[in-house]
Every structure is written in C-alpha cells, then in structure tokens.
Structure 1
C-alpha cells in the first residue's frame, strides 16, 4: 500500500524555459496519441502542463493538468494513426471541457464520461487551468466497431450502465500507483474493458438489440462486482439487493459469481477489510476512531469488525494502525511508504 502515487512523469513544463514550452507540449502530446494540431488559449501569458501515466494490466492511465488549449484532430491526422489504435475514456476532474465529435458540439462536466476513438476526427479542450484523467484501451481488446464508438460517444447517458462505469472509473483514479503493482492488475484491466464495451454497445443500440443483450450478459459478472464495490459502505447491502439491481434471481447471482470463483459474502468482507486498512493508515483519517472506520466500511458492529480484522490480519485494527504508522515514520525519505492516499 502506498501513500504517494507512483507514476511515470511524461511532461512537466515547469522544467522548461517559457520559450520552449509550446514545442515541448506538442511533442509530449503527439508522443502519446496520433498527431494533432494544438492551439493554446493564451501562449503569450505562458503555458503550464503536467502529464503523468501509469500502466494497469492492459490499460494506460493518464492524468493531464494544463492551462487552456484545444486539440484538433482532422481526417489527415487520422490517416497517420499508430499500428494499434486506441479508444480513450476520460473524466473531467477540473474545469468544464468542450468537445466536438460525430457532428455534435457539447460540454463535459465532472459527472460525464468522454469517449473518443483514435480513428475519428474531433475537437477537445478547455479554457483556463483544468485537468482530465483518462484510460486508453486497445481497439482490438475492446472489439467494438468504430461507428459504434462514434455513435455511442454522444449518447453515453442513455446507457443503463453509465453511472456504474462512471463510479468504476472514479475508483481506478483513486490510487493508480497502487493498482499498477497489484497482482490483480491484469484482471482489473480486463474487467474495465468489459464494462466500457457494455457501455458503448448499450448506448449505441436499442435495448432489445441482440448485440446489447449479448454484451450485457457477457459483462454481468463485472457489473455485479463493480456495483458491489460502489455500495460496500452501505450496511444494507445484501445478496437480494444486488440481484434486484441486476434484474436476476438470487440463485442466478450466486451461480454467476460461482463460475468466476467468487463467494459473495466472503468477497464483500474482504473488500470491506481492505477499505478499512486504507482508512486506518491514511494520514487524513488518523484521528478517526476505529468504530467510525468500521461504520464507514459497512460494518454495523465494531466488535464484529474487530473479530473479522483479527481473523484476516492476525492483529486488531488499533494494532494495525499503530504498527503501520511506526513503519511509515521509519521509512527513509526516498523509500516507499506503506500507506495509500485518502480516497478522492
């Protein structure tokens, strides 16, 4: 577990002289995507930007923070695409963003998902200082035709899984450095790809379309797990509620998860305990009582939480917190700390 987010720094314009920043920005951007034309909002006032990246399974994750700019991708640029084109899926983490895609102009806010296929022209950008966080997925892994991505990109909110995918992406963003090192990174990358495929297919086609039925069925396990993670802190979460949310019977719920090797109740407890570990060792929550940690992680009884925690880790929550804090204080300045950041 990590207190800071480990990443590869692709660009920090603060390290460049002002006269070199426009060229450095363009070079970094075009190294991470197909060629684009880039227009900066106020280059005469100076531009700032920072690009960071992580690799989680088959996914590339990017965090971009910069002053205002607009990326213009034309048909000429598209013809020069890389050997393995990608689809980008992004969240607007600061500011209001503008886009033009599939013949429509629209704005994007904090509750929107933006999706662009590398093989289609588009405009994208923002005014003032703003930020975006993105996942790129190999087009071959996604397995969705270009026209489906284009059609879906301007009507994502019509999909029944939009909010679920939005919550899943926000979860990925909390600690990409930790996820990068997690043994389950490959499976997480596959699950994310499956969820995005379901989002695009269901947004592009009618609910009764056989393609929608097929992709919703194929992604059922991933959707159940994503839904459950989103509601872990709710003490009323139950198998019946999870089944009802996915319009299936409790029996089918257990059968679907069983085929994936998941025992629901044990998996929920494990996920809640991992969330408790993060809270217990978070500097931001250092003063939070153990009973409050238990409640925030979906446990209705502090004593039950303590018993479960001891059974899983061999120590009580208080002992875990004390030990981790002591370990962190002994960590050399340049060494890896043992905790992760508070969730966003």
Structure 2
C-alpha cells in the first residue's frame, strides 16, 4: 500500500494534532480523544485503490473517535458506509444501540451516523467505503447490521478477509477491467458475510426476512453459476424449498423470477459498461449464468424490448452523445 502520512519523527503534540485533522478529512468530522496522553503517539495511514474500491489502512495508538450528530449532519457521505477489517490490536464500536468488540480477523460495518469507535494500543485496521445502496438492496436498512461484529470464527468472514488482503497484494498485477471485477466480487463476499451473521440469533418474527436476505445475497454472489435454481438456493441457505417459496411469495416475489431478473439486470449493466465493451456477448452471457447466447438473447429481448447487441449499441451511442454535450458545454 502507498504510505500517505506518518507521525514518525514528529513531536508528539504536533503529530496528534495533524493525525486528528487527517481523520476528519479522510473519514468524517469527528471528535478525537487520546487515551494514553502520557505516552508517545503513533499514527500511520496507507492507502490503496482496486477498481472503484478506496481502501485505507490506519495504524494508531489508543484513541476514542466519536461521530457526533452535528458532524454526521455536516458531512457529504450520507450515501456511503464503512466496512472495518481488524488487522491487529483490539477496538470497540458503538452504533445503533449495539456495542461490539473487534479483534484481529473480525469485521464490522459502520454508517456515517452518530457512533463511537475506540481503538486500543497498537491498533491496525483496513477501512473500505462502499455505496450504501449496494448493501441495502440485498440486506435492507443498514440499521439492521451496523455495529454488528462479524467474528473471524465465521468461515464467510475468513474468506472475505483473505480475499480483500490478497486483492490489495496483487492489485498492481490486475488490468483495470480485472480490478473492477475483482472489487465487485469482494463486495459480494462482504454482503454474503453480513447475511450469514444476521441469520445468527435473530428473533423469530424477523427470521423469515433474514432468510430472504441471505438468499438474495447468495444469488448476487453466484449469478454466474448456471446450476443456480430454487432447490439449489434453498439448500444453500439451509431451509426447505417449500419454506423458501413461501417466504418469497409473502413478499410478492417468485424465486426463479428473482434470479432471472438479477441476471438480466447485471447483464444490462455490463452491456452498458465501457469497460466491458470488448467482451463478446456470449462470454458476457455465460458470466451472468445463461446456458447459451441464444437463451440469453431471447430472455433479454423479452425483458428489454431489444436485443443485447442493440442495447449495447444504444448505450455506447448515448454515452458518446453525453460526452460530446459535456465537451461542448451543453451539459452543466
């Protein structure tokens, strides 16, 4: 990772002041209090980018960081959330009535709302900022899982943590297209880990909602699997097919329809993405779980009213027209 700032060599009082300002700029305006005012202060910030993912690694002495209601209202990141991956030391987070301890290997999601994060001596963590909509589309409101610690004992947490660390390590070897795809996989793993954690010890009245959220998270992470169907999905989330069908029906949905809608939505996004323009339509179709290009073309045209090729051409043309309008100052 690229080193952006370090207090090494700075006077303790100056180093802490600069570190406090840096946290306010990189995260949100926060109140920062030292917990070991008599000892030397250490702070180091490293950063990395993998496709759209902006990753920060913070190494710091013991601090109490509070996002106040006033600060939460002032900042401009209301559409984003933060995922913390604990690397070393211990920290405690408090948000939305939940207090949790994070140890090495654990994860926790924090929203840009009032919260308190306390780090202890020699603490280190990775921070990823993600669009709120990406999680809420599958898992529901962030208030359901902010401040909920995802233990390193969970297999899904282990897998997600290892993937993110490896992604950082090999990021310079990835092409821009590959980096974007791998970043998307990392986000899918985070969603799947949260869904598994939410299913633990939930009150019975909301158990059905959690099962559906886990099912949708599994679909998002496995769209490319042509074998993904309702029986496969029910087995993956640990309920009977009949029970899963009932839960989807209660929400006015059918399992098969949901799977195909998500495949078609992802395919449409990739067709319109300039980074995927070099991909043959057949390759793109297989990557979204369709068994053949003709099968994909039929379903896509029925859903969107035009063939995949026509859809891609229209998206490219619209993009060029928009860029031309911007260049000629017709678009503010």
| TM-score w.r.t. length of structure 2 | 0.58
Q: What's the RMSD between the two structures over aligned residues?
A: 4.9
Q: How many residues are paired up?
A: 257
* Structure-2 residue corresponding to 1:28: 25
- C-alpha separation in 1, matches of 2:257 and 2:314: 26
* Structure-2 residue corresponding to 1:6: none
Residue 198 of structure 1 contacts residue 215 of structure 1 at CA under 8 Å; is this kept in 2? no
Candidates 218, 223, 229, aligned match of 1:227: 218
* Structure-2 residue corresponding to 1:132: 128
Higher mean displacement: 64-73 or 311-320? 64-73
| TM-score w.r.t. length of structure 1 | 0.56
SS at match of 2:32: coil
After TM superposition, list the pairs within 5 Å mapping 1:1-344 onto structure 2: 22=19, 24-28=21-25, 31-37=28-34, 39-41=42-44, 65=55, 69-70=59-60, 72-74=62-64, 82=69, 90-92=83-85, 97-101=87-91, 106-108=103-105, 113-114=107-108, 118-119=115-116, 121-123=118-120, 124-125=123-124, 132-133=128-129, 142=143, 153=149, 156-159=151-154, 162=157, 174=184, 196=194, 199=197, 202=200, 211=202, 216-332=207-323, 335=326
Q: CA deviation at 1:333?
A: 6.6
Q: CA deviation at 1:318?
A: 0.7
Structure 1: 5+ residue stretches without partners: 1-11, 14-18, 42-46, 51-61, 176-191, 203-208, 337-344
| CA pair 198-36 structure 1, distance change in 2 beyond 3 A | farther
SS at match of 1:35: strand
| CA pair 35-91 structure 1, distance change in 2 beyond 3 A | closer
Structure 2: 5+ residue stretches without partners: 6-13, 35-40, 73-80, 93-99, 136-140, 165-179, 186-190, 328-332
What do residues 170-229 of structure 1 show as CA deviations (whole Å, max 9, x unaligned)? 99x859xxxxxxxxxxxxxxxx8xx85972683xxxxxx6x5666544411211111122
Larger RCO, structures 1/2 (Cα 8 Å, 6+ apart): 1
* Structure-2 residue corresponding to 1:341: none
| CA pair 311-158 structure 1, distance change in 2 beyond 3 A | same
- C-alpha separation in 2, matches of 1:333 and 1:70: 47
